[in-house]
A and B are shown apart, each in its own frame.
Chain A
Amino acid sequence: MDIPGMYLAYIDPSAGGFLLQIVLGGLAGVAVIVKLQWRRIRALFARAPRDPEPPRS
């Protein structure tokens, strides 16, 4: 799986619930999402090349 940002975090099942509540709160909430999205895009390009796959046993 290649999900940007994934390597830094564990899955928080309530992230969406938190974000939805602030997004519906108006422009400030939407700005938070835009910012988060921008981080993801930046992370895509800033990523170091991946290690070669380990040999399968």
Chain B
Amino acid sequence: MGLVADPASYRDPDARVFHDGARVLRVFSPRGAAQYRAFLDTGLSDRFCERGDLVASRPLDVAEVDALDGIEPASAGLVVEHPRIPFLSYCFEWSFQMLREAALLELRLARESLERGQILKDATPYNVQFIGARPVHIDVGSFEPWTPGTPWPAYTQFCRLFLNPLILAARLGVPFHPWLRGAQEGISPETMCALLPWHKRGGAWRDVVVHAWLNRRFAGASPEAAREARAATVSREMILGTMERLARTIESLDAPDEPSAWIGYEAEKPYGPEAQRFKDEFVERALSRVSPRVVWDLGCNTGRYSLMAARTAETVVAVDGDPAVVDALFRKLQEEKNERVLCLVMDLTDPSPGQGWGGRARPAFLDRGAADFCMMLSLVHHLAISANVPLERIVGDLATAAPAGVIEFVPKDDPMVRRLLSWRKDVFEDYSVSALERAIGRTFRVVDRGRVPGAERELIAFNR
């Protein structure tokens, strides 16, 4: 198979990413290669890789480069291979703590690099991916020698994509997800300043308020004035001071007290230990029947079943629409240094679309790689009753993401469904376990089913 250019990699002509079937290759131009070698010579790359902060890179030898179909060996200064990221995710799908960890990672890399004379030329969450709960910087082309006296070019980008979304969530209790999904350049200092009332500006005066004022005042300065201003110099200590200040501010931001209807689910779930055991055994059986490599846990809540699947599966993508439950799950995963379960915040009735240049720079959630097994436990009633999605569409459009799976039907007289129906008219005449079975039967074969003891819930395992 020939090399295919990664649709997300076009900004930096000196270090472009290509895919070759299963491999991820980064092709440096001669200039990019010189810069990358200078970065390697500082010893930073080894240190970052050892710590797991930076994606690993293996340089290809001449014969391997010659064998590549799709690039001119002469145009390539150097080609390195990176390990594949198990499942791509983006900042508008991360929980608060995930974005904070990614921000602190970027600052850590930026500070240590500058101490060795290298500058992190961009600071964007799109350069970070998660392997389970571990954030990894994936763009080895973002380091270049620092020209003494010049400021940190990524400062404003860092504020727009890390600092301001975190302030928005922590200080105002407003989830950043729709903001980041809606604007790939993030939240400008001017917008953040307009949103932030005076009494909540503590610690943010310089990076939000003064930053916004200077932007408003001088962004339209004439080229002559700008040239004059650009003659001013910034010392290394000053830039390090800026990076340290940003790290302190971000460390001081606490996860928002988001109103969450589901964070206490584990404690108040409407079934006892016997039902729990039955459900656990059912899911375990369904998993062992398939031995999936990649599992999707849609509506993961506390992640109980994600963790169960991760005992054997290599990758589990755990999705929930409630930012607070995903944040709690991430902290748990982080504590146990889990590198298999990736948790994401997403409304499954509106999964992330393809975005960025050509609509392809960031692929849609459903296009990022196939699952072998799909779990939809305590989920169907949310989609069917809160969001009016017909059962056959739930199965046809979502369960079909994998060739096998397990689904839980929660009937109308279940306390959780009664809660969903308490503020609205019951217009769901077709909501029944037999309707769900018919929908499953159109694509799949039912291989196991069982009624959860003490609850009227039904579990159905199916495959193609």
User: Which A residues contact B (CB, under 8 angstroms)?
Assistant: 3, 5-6, 8-9, 11-25, 28-29, 32-33, 35-37, 39-40
Contacts and interface: CB of A to CB of B under 8 A. Distances in A.
30 contacts: A5-B222, A9-B222, A12-B219, A12-B226, A13-B188, A14-B157, A15-B214, A15-B218, A16-B211, A16-B214, A16-B215, A16-B216, A16-B218, A16-B219, A17-B156, A18-B230, A20-B155, A20-B211, A21-B151, A21-B155, A21-B239, A25-B232, A25-B234, A25-B235, A25-B238, A32-B229, A35-B228, A36-B221, A36-B225, A36-B229
Contact of B218 (A19, A21, A28): A19
B221 to A, nearest CB: 5
Interface of B: 151-153, 155-157, 159, 185, 188-189, 206-207, 210-223, 225-226, 228-230, 232-235, 238-239, 241-242
A45 to B, nearest CB: 15
B226 A23 contact: no
Contact of B215 (A6, A13, A28): A13
B220 A5 contact: yes
A11 B220 contact: yes
Question: Main SS of chain B's interface residues?
Answer: helix
Contacts of A35: 228-229
B210 A14 contact: no
A21 B219 contact: no
A16 B221 contact: no
B232 A28 contact: yes
B185 to A, nearest CB: 8
A6 B219 CA distance: 9
Contact of A16 (B212, B239, B242): B212
A16 B229 CA distance: 11
A21 B152 contact: yes
A30 B211 CA distance: 14
A17 B218 CA distance: 11
A23 B242 CA distance: 12
Contacts of A36: 218, 221, 225, 228-229
Contacts of B217: 37, 40
Contacts of B220: 3, 5-6, 8-9, 11
Contacts of A29: 232, 234
Contacts of B223: 8-9
Given A19-B214, A21-B234, A13 B156 contact: yes
**Which residue, B159, B188, B211, B213, has most C-beta atoms of chain A within 10 A?**
B211
A1 B355 CA distance: 33
Contacts of B232: 22, 25, 28-29, 32
A8 B222 contact: yes
A23 B221 contact: no
Contact of A22 (B156, B221, B229): B229
A13 B238 contact: no
A36 B229 CA distance: 8
B221 A9 contact: yes
B7 to A, nearest CB: 24
A9 B226 CA distance: 10
B234 A22 contact: yes
A12 to B, nearest CB: 6
A9 B227 CA distance: 12
B163 to A, nearest CB: 11
A32 B229 CA distance: 6
Contacts of A13: 156, 185, 188, 215, 219
Contacts of A16: 156, 189, 211-216, 218-219
A11 B206 contact: no
Identify the interface centre among B212, B229, B239: most chain A CB within 10 Å of its CB: B229
Contacts of A11: 219-220
A31 to B, nearest CB: 8
Contacts of B230: 18
A37 B185 CA distance: 28
A35 B232 CA distance: 12
Given A15-B218, A20-B210, 19 more contacts: A3-B220, A8-B223, A13-B215, A14-B155, A15-B219, A15-B226, A16-B216, A16-B219, A21-B238, A23-B214, A24-B238, A25-B233, A25-B235, A28-B232, A33-B214, A36-B225, A36-B229, A39-B221, A40-B221
Contacts of B152: 21
Contacts of A5: 220-222, 225
A50 to B, nearest CB: 17
Contacts of B206: 20, 24
Contacts of B153: 14
Name the residue among B185, B212, B215 with the largest chain A CB count within 10 angstroms.
B215
Contacts of B233: 22, 25, 28
